[in-house]
Every structure is written in C-alpha cells, then in structure tokens.
A = this chain, B = another copy of it.
Amino acid sequence: MAKKSTISISVIKRLPRYHRYLGDMLKSGTRRISSRELAHIMSLTASQIRQDLNCFGGFGQQGYGYNVEYLYNEISNILGIPNRLPAVLIGAGNLGKAIARQMDFGNTGFQLIGVFDQSPDIVGKEVSGLTVKEMSELDKICKEKQPKVAILCIPKEATPAVADKCIELGIMGFWNFTQYDLAQGYDNIAVENVHLSDSLMTLCYQVNDLMKDGEE
C-alpha cells in the first residue's frame, strides 16, 4: 500500500518538525528510533507518526523502528529541499532584510537569487551578499533565472499588484509576510501566509485568558 495521491495540509505542516527532530538526532549520533520513542520526544502519538510517514511510503522496519539517517533523507526529499529552487525577495525594509540575513535558505529548500525594492534609498545597498535591485529589473531576472518563489515583505496595499506581476513572470509560490491575505483567489499557486500580527493577537488572547484564570 502506502503513497497517497494527495496529502492533507495537516500532515505536510508536520513534516518540517519531523525533519528538525531527526536532524538533531542525526547530529547527536542516534542511529535508530521507534515511533514510540519519537512520539515521546515530540509530544505526539506513535500512531500519528506512523500514519503521517505512511502517506509517503513505508520507511520503517517491523521489530526495529526507523533508521534516523534514512528517514531524515527521505523527508528532505519529500519536502523537496535538495532542489534548492531559486527565490527572490521583494521588499528590503526592516523585515525583508532580517529575513534575508537570518534564514538558512539552502537548508530550507531554496536559493536566494535576487532582492528587490521600490525605494531609491535602498536600491544599490547590499543584503546578504546580493545588491538590491529596482523593481523594474524583476522582469529581466525572472526571464534569466526563473525563480519559483517570491518572498513578500512589502506594504499591504502594494501586495495584490506585485503578486499578479510575479505570477505573470512564472512565480509559483509566495512566502507572504504582508497583511494582505494572499491564500485566496489564485489557482495552482502555493501560499504560506506568515501573518505576524495575527500570531501576536492569538498570543494576546491566550495570555489574557491565563490572567483571568489567576483572578478567579
């Protein structure tokens, strides 16, 4: 059996976390791991781990468990990390610059090949080894290097127009840090919205809720 055709987003979102834990184990020299042990470490159930992995194939061995290195590599491949798809960053303000400098793109499946900004104050500056280019140069770079992903760190209002432009130029996925909801409306385009404000407000609810409990 094994190998489902479409994988639910819940499963996909757990893969990077498996990858991370297995990477740590690999570094610390662990050779094998059972679903039971891994579940314990990751605060999951063994059932869930086996179900998740079996969406993609049978990577374990009865009576033994999983080989850490093999499973780590398989998950890397499932995620497509070795493909290192070319990506561009659009918007090199505070957040854009920080993302460019902070992220280890190579180990998360991409290669940052260009940085663009609309402001003349920023164009020409260097960010993470790349010279910030004018927005007008996006066409050229896209034709030359065919980036597949755009990282958007631009104002909300600019987002729909920039996204449309990107899609025209062959972009297939967005890592969206803007306040604009990109998830909707496009067919065959992948979007990961990182809505930092939403995340912070969720925390706001939770902390206030904890404080209420304290009062009672």
Q: Which residues of A contact B (CB under 8 A)?
A: 12-13, 15-17, 19-20, 43, 78-81, 83, 85, 93-95, 97-99, 101-105, 107-110, 148-149, 172-175, 179, 181, 183-184, 188-192, 194-211, 213
Question: Cβ of A104 and Cβ of B190 under 8 Å apart?
Answer: no
Residues of B within 8 A of A172 (CB): 207, 210-211
Known contacts A148-B207, A172-B211, A192 near B184 by CB under 8 Å: no
Question: Cβ of B85 and Cβ of A208 under 8 Å apart?
Answer: yes
Question: Cβ of A194 and Cβ of B196 under 8 Å apart?
Answer: yes
CB distance from A92 to the nearest CB of B (A): 11
Question: Cβ of B19 and Cβ of A205 under 8 Å apart?
Answer: no
Question: Cβ of B202 and Cβ of A149 under 8 Å apart?
Answer: no
Residues of B within 8 A of A101 (CB): 94
Residues of B within 8 A of A93 (CB): 102
Overall SS of chain A's interface:
helix
Partner of A207, one of B80, B201, B206, B209: B80
Known: A80-B207, A85-B207. 9 other contacts (CB 8 A): A15-B202, A17-B181, A95-B102, A97-B98, A173-B206, A175-B199, A188-B213, A192-B206, A194-B196
Question: Cβ of A12 and Cβ of B205 under 8 Å apart?
Answer: yes
Known contacts A78-B205, A98-B97, A184-B43, A210 near B173 by CB under 8 Å: yes
Cα–Cα distance between A79 and B78 once the two chains are bound (Å) = 38
Cα–Cα distance between A211 and B171 once the two chains are bound (Å) = 11
* 6 pairs, A vs B, C-beta closer than 8 Å: A16-B199, A20-B179, A43-B184, A172-B210, A173-B203, A194-B199
